[in-house]
Structure 1
Amino acid sequence: MITIKPHHFLDVIKLYGKGIEKFVPDKKYKHNFYSVANELMNNHEIKIQLTSGKDDICGPCIYINEDGICTDSIDHIPGVNSKDEWNKTLDHRIMSYTKVVEKDQLTAFEYCKILYLEKEHIFDVWKEESDSSKQIRYDTFCIGAKKYLGML
């Protein structure tokens, strides 16, 4: 089973939509994005459990403290400096529109299908970002989800 934040799952599918099919280690942050993403790509029936806290991707990241809080900062969202705060905002928005809550368990395929059916909400979830950023996120997620779900 993989414990994953909803926005991390969306990021994996979005990058798959950009053409990445084999993920490689991140030497800067030292997180497990690559291994979790590769596992999701190789096993669509793997069980996932959703969280808005520390997940299997960010667990080993250099910015995760002993309490599981991300200490990294951001500056691209007015009024938000904490990456942890921003990530939790995104994850709660995603869970709200999909009606899938923390600790729910389902297969990666099932979750991708739920996200795809509610894909228009991407514009609401990332409402603070530019229209062009949201459109790219939407387009690449849709391509990735269609590939993942066998619709392409």
Structure 2
Amino acid sequence: MTTDVPKGHLVVYVGESQRKRFVIPVSFLNHSSFQDLLSQAEEEFGFDHPMGGLTIPCREDIFIDLISQIVNAMNTLRRPIFSPESMIVPKGHFAVYVGETKKKRFVVPISYLKHPSFQNLLCQAEEEFGFDHLAGGLTIPCSEEVFMGSF
């Protein structure tokens, strides 16, 4: 087993009795579902983690499912929908238009509304557009690169 942890990642130990080591991106710490797991870990262990690293007291399959949901949410954000025929927005998602001049349509999970970076972008949109969004939907006044780099 390697002890190297890439920059921008951290080690967590997961399991109810036998613990398994996972290396995850630090960005997962911002996700509300992951924060719920951290609260459970704090309740059970406080700041004394017996494995010498962050220990998450849940079943491994539940943890893997949660990580899959986070990854899927991140991948959804990175899949822009450009064509007018693609007007379907899946349940639990909403469309936003991003760009300073030319607007591109993105479908993002509703859970992103809780993300501090997304809330900052919403404040910028409110300052620039108020409640009058020219594209007919929520418009974020920033470059595509800034938008995608916020998560």
Same fold (TM over 0.5): no
The TM-score with structure 2 as length reference comes to 0.26
The TM-score with structure 1 as length reference comes to 0.26
Q: Hey, which of these two has a bigger chunk of helix by percent?
A: 1
Higher relative contact order (CA 8 A, sep 6+): 1
